[in-house]
Chains A and B, each alone.
Chain A
Amino acid sequence: MDQITIKSREERFLQPIHKQPKSESKLSPREVQFLRPILRTGKAFYVVIPALIVLVLWVLYAWYTQLTQGLSVTGLRTPVGAIWGLYITNFVFFVAISAAGIAIASGIRLFKLKDYIALARMAELATIFSLMMAGMSIVMSIGRPDRLFNLILNFPARLPSSPLIWDVMAVFVYLVFAITYLYIEMREDMARLVGKVKWGWLYKLLLPGYRIGERHRIEKIVFWASIFNFPIMFMMHTTVGWIFGLQVGRPGWYSTIFGPYFVLGAILTGMSVVVILAAIYRKAFQWEEFIRPVVFKGLSKFLMWMSILYLYFILSEFMTVTFAGPSGEQAVWESLTGGEFAPLFWLQNGALVIAFLLFFVNTVFKKAFRIGTTVIASCLVVFALWIVRFLIVVPSLLRPFLPFPTGSYNPSWVEWSLVGGVFAIEILLFMVFTKVFPIMPVTELMAEEEEGNHA
C-alpha cells in the first residue's frame, strides 16, 4: 500500500491517533482562539437555543396541522388564486444561498485567496444547511409527502422531460458533493483535536481510515473537486430557473433570461449571506484578527458588481415587456409596477439600489469603508432577493391566460410559521455545528501562519 514518507510541516503539529494520551494534551494558544466556540459557552447561547427550540416545536405543530388537514390550511388555491406561494419562494431562496460555499470555498482553494481561508467552512456549511432547508421547503409544499419515494422510483423515466426531476437530481448531487467536500477537508482538523476537546470521541468515530499525512492527497482531491464545483453550481441554479423559464403556460415565466438570472441571483444571495455570517462569527467570538477588514473589502467590491448586474437583469426584463410585451406578460408586469404588487416591487428595487450604492461607497471611497456598511448592504440584498423570488412565483399565477376572476394570495399562519421555521432550523443547525465542530479551518490557518512566519 502507500508508504507515508512525506514529512509536511503539518506533521509537526499532529499526533498519531492511536498514540494519543486521553488526558490533558495542551492546545496551543492559537488553537484556543480558533476553538473558542467549542471550549466555552456564552450567555447568548443559553438564551437563543431554547428560543429556537420553542420555535421549532411551533413549526412542527403547524406542519402537523397541514399534514392532517391538507393544504387547505394554506392560502393556496387554483384556478382562482396562486397554487405556488411562500413554500416555493422559500425553496428557491434557500437553493440560492447554497451558491455560497462553492463560490468562497472553491475560490479559496483554486485561486489561493489566503485572506478568505477563515470563511471557508462557514460558507460550506451555509451551502449544506441551505440545501437541506430547500429540500424541506419542497416537502412542506407537496400535497402527498408520503409518496416522496415515487420521485426516486420514477426518476429514470422522467429524466428527459421534467424540470422538477432535474432539480431533485441537482439537489441530491450538490448536497452529496458539498457534504463530501466539507467532510474531507475537515478530517485533518478533527484528527488534530481528537484527544484535546470534549467532542474528540465523535471526531474519532467520523475518521475511518485516517492516516497521518493524508492531508497532502486530500488537498489535491479538494483542488480538483473545487474545479468541478463550478459546473455543478451553474447547473444547479439554472435548473431551478428552468422550472419557471421553460413553462409556456404562465405569462411572465417563459423567458430565455431565467437560467442566467437565477445563477446571478444565487451568487448574489450566497455571497451576501457569507458576509453576514462572517460578521456574526467575527463579533461573537472576537475573531477580528482572523476575519480581517480586507475580507469585507473584497466581498464589498464583488457584491457591488453583482448587484449592479442584477439590477441590469431586472431592467432588461422590464424594458422587454413594457416596450412590446404580449398582453399576458403586460398584465403581469402591470400588477408589478402599478398594481397590487407595486409596493413590494418598488421596495425590492429600492433596497437593491441602496445596497448597490452602499457597496459602491464602500469600495470606491477608501476612507469611507466600514464593515458595518457592508453588512447592512448584504442584509438589504438578502431581504430584497426574498421578495424578488416571491414576485417571480406569485404574480404570474394570479394572471393566467384564460380570464378566470383575478384572485389574491393571502398566506395563512401555517405558511408563515413554516417559512419562519425553516429559517429557525437553519440557525439552530449552525449553532449546534459551531458548538460541536471547529468552524475555523484550524489546520489551514495554522499552516498559513507558519508560512507567514517563515516568509
Chain B
Amino acid sequence: MKRREFIKYSAGSIALALLGKYVGGPVLGKIAVDETGKSPVKSKTKEKARAIDGLGTVADPSNRFGLAIDVGACIGCRRCQWACKESNNIPDTISPPWIEVFQLEVGQGVTGEPSLEDLRDGATTSYTKSPLAGKWYMPVACNHCDNPPCVKVCPTGATFKDKDGIVLIDYDKCIGCKFCVVSCPYTARRFNAFIPEIPPEKVNPMVPLRVEGVVEKCTFCVQRTRRGTLPMCVEACPVGARHFGNLNDPDSEISSLLNSNPYFQLLGELNTGPNMRYVTRGKKWIK
C-alpha cells in the first residue's frame, strides 16, 4: 500500500507541474492579450529596454562626485528645480520634483548650519518672490550619502551606490515598497503614485522612463556627468551657486572651494555621510 500511495502522489504532483508549465502558460498568454494583439505576459520581458540609471555609461571608480551649494549666492529662483524636471523626464505628478528649495530666516543658522529648531520655525517652501531681504535659500535633493540608509534597506537591491559615488536606481528591480522613501532622513526620494505621463516631445531619450509604482530621485544627472558635462541644475543656476565635481581630485574646482571655505552638511550626526555641502562663502549678511 505504501508504494502505491507514493507512486500515486508523486505522479500526481509531477503531472500537475507539467500541466501548469506547458498548458497553463500558453493558455494564459493567449487569454491575456492587449489591444496590439500581443500578449503582455510575453512582451513585457522581451521587448522593453532596460530601465536603469546610467544605462550605457561606465562608472569610473577613481571619481567621487559631490555637490557644493553656495547658500550665500543662492537667490531661490528655483531654476535648478525646473531644469532638473525638464531634462530628467520627471512628470507633473511628482510634486515637488527632485530638488526642493527652502527659504530660511537670516537669524537662523548665523554660524552656517541651521539647527533643527531653525529649520522648523519659519522655514518654508512655498515662497513666491525671491530673493527677499532677511531670508536665505537652501536647495535640497539627494545627498548621495557615503553610508546611505536607502541602499541598506532596499529589499531587492534596486537602489545601489555605484563606484563613482552616485546612488542610482534600477527601475526594473524596484517593487515600490517605499522603504527607501521612509528611511531617507532628507526626504529626498519620490514615489510614482500616479501613472507618469510626459508628452513625447518633452521626453529625454538619455534618461529612462519610469513606470508607476517605482521610486525615483536625483541622479547627479548621471547621463551627463559620466560623459564629461555638468548636471542640469549646475548649468541652469543663473548666479553660479552650484558647484559639481570630483572630490577625489584635489585640483577640481569643488575641492578648492571646499578647502578654502567653511561649509556645513545637513543632519551629519545621523552618520549618513552626505555628499552635499553648503558653502557660506557669499553669505550676504557677513560683509
A–B contact (CB under 8 angstroms): yes
The stretch of B73-81, B82-90, B173-181, B222-230 that contacts the partner chain: B173-181
Whether the pair B176, A142 counts as a contact (CB closer than 8 A) is: yes
Q: Which residues, 53 to 103 on B, are CB-close (under 8 Å) to A?
A: 93, 96, 100, 102
B214 in the interface, Cβ–Cβ < 8 Å? Answer: yes
CB <8 Å contact, A403 and B156: no
0 or 1 for each of B186-228: is its CB under 8 Å from A? (1 = yes) = 1101111111000000000000000111110000000000000
Cβ contact within 8 Å between B157 and A157: yes
Q: A141 is contacted by which of B115, B177, B271 (Cβ under 8 Å)?
A: B177
User: Which of A157, A165, A248, A403 neighbours the largest number of chain B CB atoms within 10 Å of its CB?
Assistant: A403
Q: How many residues of B contact A (CB 8 A)?
A: 60
A52 contacts B by Cβ under 8 Å:
no
Most chain B CB within 10 A, of A18, A148, A401, A402, is at: A402
A298 contacts chain B at the CB level, 8 A cutoff:
no
Q: Which of B232-283 contact A (CB under 8 A)?
A: 266-267, 270-272
Our pick among B115, B151, B152, B187 for the contact of A78 (Cβ within 8 Å) is: B187
Whether A154 is near chain B, meaning CB under 8 Å from some CB there, is: yes
Contact bitstring A222-252, B, C-beta under 8 A = 1, else 0: 0000000000000000000001000111100
Q: In whole angstroms, what is the CA distance A244 to B280 when docked? A: 35
Summarize A's interface: helix, strand, loop or mixed. Answer: loop
Contact of B21 with A by CB under 8 A: no
Please determine whether B125 and A162 come into contact, CB atoms closer than 8 angstroms: no
B181 touches A83 (CB 8 A): yes
Verify A144–B214 contact, CB threshold 8 A. yes
**Which residue of B1, B116, B194, B270 contacts A249 across the interface (Cβ within 8 Å)?**
B270
Interface centre among B120, B124, B214 (most CB of A within 10 A): B120
Check A108 for interface membership: any CB of B closer than 8 A: no
Cross-chain contact of B156 among A151, A250, A405 (Cβ < 8 A): A151
Shortest beta-carbon distance, A4 to chain B, in Å? 13
Name the contact of A401 in the complex, choosing from B124, B125, B267 (C-beta under 8 A).
Answer: B267
Whether A150 pairs with B120 at a CB distance below 8 angstroms is no
Closest to A150 in B: B156
- A201 interfacial contact with B, CB 8 Å: no
B273 CB to nearest chain A CB (Å): 12
A268 within 8 Å of B by Cβ? no
In the complex, what's the smallest C-beta–C-beta distance from B168 to chain A, in angstroms? 16
Query: For the complex, what is the distance from the CA of A138 to the CA of B155, rounded to whole Å?
Result: 13
Which among A143, A331, A400 has the greatest number of chain B C-beta atoms within 10 A? A143
Task: Determine if A247 and B175 form an interchain contact, defined as CB atoms under 8 angstroms apart.
Answer: no
Q: With A70-B213, A76-B193 given, is the CB distance from A248 to B272 under 8 Å? A: yes
Contact yes or no, B5 A208, CB < 8 A:
yes
Q: Are A154 and B176 in contact (CB under 8 A)?
A: no
What residues on B are CB-neighbors of A164 within 8 Å?
A: 153, 155, 177, 179
Q: Within 8 Å CB of A161, what residues of B?
A: 151-153
**Contact yes or no, B184 A249, CB < 8 A:** yes
Q: How far is the CA of A72 from the CA of B176 in the complex (A)?
A: 13
Question: Do A405 and B126 touch (CB < 8 A)?
Answer: yes
Known contacts A77-B193, A403-B102; A249/B176 CB under 8 A = no
**Other-chain residue from A71, A78, A328, A405 in contact with B125 (beta carbon distance below 8 A):** A405
Distance in Å: Cβ of B90 to nearest Cβ of chain A: 14
What are 17 A-B contacts defined by CB distance under 8 Å? Answer: A18-B1, A78-B187, A83-B178, A83-B181, A84-B178, A141-B178, A142-B177, A144-B211, A144-B214, A150-B156, A150-B175, A158-B155, A158-B156, A209-B2, A327-B115, A400-B187, A403-B125
Additional pairs, 8, CB under 8 Å, beyond known A79-B190, A147-B175, A248-B270: A70-B212, A72-B212, A78-B181, A142-B177, A164-B153, A208-B9, A209-B2, A401-B267
